[in-house]
Structure 1
Amino acid sequence: MNAATPAVHQAAALLLGYPGPDWPARHTLVRDCLTELAAPAATPLLRFCAAVDGVPVLDLASAYVRTFDRSRRRTLHLTYYTDGDTRRRGSTLAALKAHYRAHGWAPPEDELPDHLPLMLEFAARCPAPGHRLLRDHRAGLELLRMALTDHGGPYADILRAVCDTLPGPSPADRAAALALARGGPPTETVGLAPFAASDPAATPLARGNGR
């Protein structure tokens, strides 16, 4: 793990938070810290910062909702990519909460523990176990990265930066990412169906405010 990795994870966590009233200050803080970091891993994040610079907060908030809240293919809740809407997901979420507590971190109760900004913040605060956790959820991260790339807009750069912090190459295509995601899902999985059906190839900084 590169020495800059925790800073990249914290910056990504802040940039993936809902752009509320605190967004201009949050954006400036992250951009300035990444500029000082001067690490290649920060390049995609700085590209995102430049793309949204000057965009009114209300416009950015509307784009955020369109991007992440209106398609299961682009959800920020990573266990959905492997567990779908199944009973297994409940136990996975409980295990995530226990994992955070075991390392002395208590995430807010008003957000599910698989929400990517929370997982990234944990990785920034507890680098070794947090990095392992992101590796465990690589399939979801890569599927989200690909979906955001297809969707267009600047958010794909944030996922690109996160995936670049993980060891080894990214899956070559969505079919490979889906195969990775299906490494152990339950038989009743419904969450993966939209991916397969819609894809012919598959055939530390201050924490940002949430919504």
Structure 2
Amino acid sequence: MFRFSRRHVRPPDVQAVWAACAALLDYPTQELLDSLDAIEGLVPDNEPLVALVAHLRRGELRERQEEYVQTFDHTRKCALYLTYFSYGDTRRRGVALVQFKQAYRKGGVEWDEESGELPDHLCAVLQFGATVDADGAWKLLNDHRAGVEMLRLALSGWRNDDGTTGSPWGNALDALCATLPTLQGDEADAVRRLVEEGPPAEEVGLEGYGTDPLIAPATIPVGAPR
């Protein structure tokens, strides 16, 4: 896990980029497609995100859904769960998941246990940063910067059915990484080692990773803007 100095300053439009990425990296629904104009309006000059919006506008919704599932649900290297890259399915991952819940609570909200997702889902972290606590999300993203970079690399190297390289959703990771500090030196070397070796392979259940009670009614949903 990497930790970055707080001297790095977030770009002024970072929360708009995070909000757009949170929506565009979620499972495509008709509601998301209906929101594309509003999402593009948040980041009209961000070329990678505008390109992803254009891709989502093309074709049928079912096509985009199948494409999304093939990319994110059937390929472990493209997991949207940040702790997976550092811990795999090991017992240590449970502790890391609790830390995400604690970060949300520190920001004044609670993770929605009924959402069906784990709290380290990238869309949730980005939505948290865009709408609740930018500093808290900044720390989570940079603590798991290696995982974000590994996901970006996996999507950039994705082989499409037509023989081309690069997943359309890789545009969202390019836009996200542009808001984060660049990996350098030992940190970049560590990412390369993780890419080669992969996450730990100990298989365990994640039940009970966080059993502390809720202390506030607010929740963090995962999904496109309502």
TM-score normalised over the length of structure 2: 0.74
Where 1:22 maps in the other structure, the secondary structure is helix
Find the counterpart in structure 2 of residue 148 from structure 1: 155
| Residues 81 and 181, structure 1, Cα contact 8 Å, conserved in 2 | no
Find the counterpart in structure 2 of residue 203 from structure 1: none
Find the counterpart in structure 2 of residue 44 from structure 1: 48
1:104-133 superposed Cα distances (whole Å, 9 cap, x missing partner): 122332210010000111111211121121
Find the counterpart in structure 2 of residue 190 from structure 1: 201
Structure 2 residue runs without a partner (length 5+): 1-9, 159-165, 203-220
Aligned residues: 186
- Work out which of the residue numbers 176, 180, 192 in structure 2 matches 1:166: 180
- Of 105-114 and 55-64, more deviation after overlay is shown by 105-114
Q: Distance in 2 between matches of 1:207 and 1:88?
A: 24
CA drift of 1:176 comes to 4.4
Identity %: 36
Structure having the larger proportion of residues in helix: 1
Task: Report the RMSD for the aligned CA atoms in angstroms.
Answer: 2.7
CA drift of 1:99 comes to 1.2
Give the aligned residue type for 2:149: E
Q: Distance in 2 between matches of 1:122 and 1:4?
A: 15
TM-score normalised over the length of structure 1: 0.79
Corresponding position: 1:92 with 2:96: yes
Structure 1 residue runs without a partner (length 5+): 192-205
Where 2:51 maps in the other structure, the secondary structure is helix
| Residues 123 and 222, structure 2, Cα contact 8 Å, conserved in 1 | no
| Residues 22 and 209, structure 1, Cα contact 8 Å, conserved in 2 | yes
Give the aligned residue type for 1:118: A
